[in-house]
Structure 1
């Protein structure tokens, strides 16, 4: 489903007229809520420069999975900030800090889990499996009902969201094909 379709689905389930911007904000908050469980894979090449200590991390980085020099197979492990003698990297303030300093220029590969991309344009589609797009709608409907002070309807929508979220988490942890039992629209 595209952003425009998701907005239509939210509007079908609420009795208010809300701005597309407000609904889009809630849909994006749902994506943020799902990020830790989605394990959305990303990759970046980092060009090390001799004697340079710090390197910027990707803005969408959620969790580093593997940092490796693919030419020699050497992996870099994260070390504590207070460790000044081990080899590896530290993560601080959106930066990678290498220890010891690189002695030569070379490229290393960063494999990581990224934050789920936000929806901006009407044709943007969530990167999560389409069978779970209803999660975004449920979250936005619950927020709309909360804003309208419709407590019981908000609780129902949020309960449905949490049930589907558990299915989403199971799906992403198993790595296997998952059959959806129910979809809430």
Structure 2
């Protein structure tokens, strides 16, 4: 038996043992009573169960990978009848390809996360710009309100001066306009 066979067999036996434990626990739950009598388990039991399930799934994937690698190596040996050194080189190539595939998947995930982060940053920038524009609009509204108030006050002052002028003209007559001197040269 090769190392691959031992690893695969060990993983299979662990998985079988864990699945038997799960089956036993399920039967025990059914034996003890109906669903109404079952006491809800704390959340950490569920989390532990999920961790075990992930480990089992990972182990299953590893077993599949090891079996595929073993089959490929056996097929290679049958076809080429090569020396163990060449088989070692082939194994190194397979391991390197697997590592590169895994790295490629990780880089793809990181690229996806980078794109998400970039989009989130763009959204944050747009929100900040929108807030700044909203603040600017609010400032313009305040300034417009102040200018409106000042215009109303100026109109009142002009009306007051116009009434005073009318009273003055009623009392003393119209005001004569003075000729203003211009800076232009005298006409010749």
Normalising to structure 2: TM-score of the pair? 0.25
Higher share of residues assigned strand: 1
RCO (CA 8 Å, sep 6+): is it higher in 1 or 2? 1
Normalising to structure 1: TM-score of the pair? 0.26
